[in-house]
Amino acid sequence: MKRIVVVLFTLIVKSAFAQTQADMNHQVYAEYQKADNELNEVYKQLLVEYKTDTVYINNLKASQRIWINFRDAELHMKYPEREAGYYGSLHPICSTSYLAELTKERTKKLREWLAGAEEGDICSGSVRIKE
């Protein structure tokens, strides 16, 4: 009896917070857009912060173009093109979530150039030393 009550309670709570597929798609897409906007902001900050280092800027631009190709290839590797419905109705949510994850990882990596390296970091490369 207790088990039935728990199951019924769980179903009622879940249905009270249910969303439509379109709502869930929109929510995940908004999260991806936020991550993409943040990446673009960090990228713009790097262009300003390192504007006098033209070699770095050229390499940053090349790296970002390559990363976009990598990101897209990663998505296709995870979700190769298949017949319609192959991945189910949650495919838009899953693929967009994966794009957001990859974008957040890239943003974290680029932030290292804004944060700067510790004094004495002999492998900092083009990352400026913190002041």
Q: What is the CATH number of the domain that holds 55?
A: 1.20.1270.180
Give the percent of the chain with pLDDT over 90.
74
Q: State pLDDT tens for residues 27-57.
A: 999 999 999 999 999 999 999 999 999 999 9
What three-state secondary structure class fits 117?
strand
The mean pLDDT value of the chain amounts to 89
Alpha-carbon torsion (63, 41, 111, 120), positive or negative: positive
14 within some domain: no
- Quick check: 8 pLDDT over 50? no
Q: What is the pLDDT of residue 77?
A: 97
**Stretch 75-99: mean pLDDT, rounded?**
93
76 within some domain: yes
78 within some domain: yes
- Tally of structural domains, the chain: 1
12 within some domain: no
Residue range(s) defining the domain that contains residue 43: 19-115
Q: What is the pLDDT of residue 29?
A: 95
Cα maximum dimension of the chain: 72
- How would residue 81 be classed by pLDDT, with cut points 50, 70 and 90? very high
**Stretch 52-70: mean pLDDT, rounded?**
98
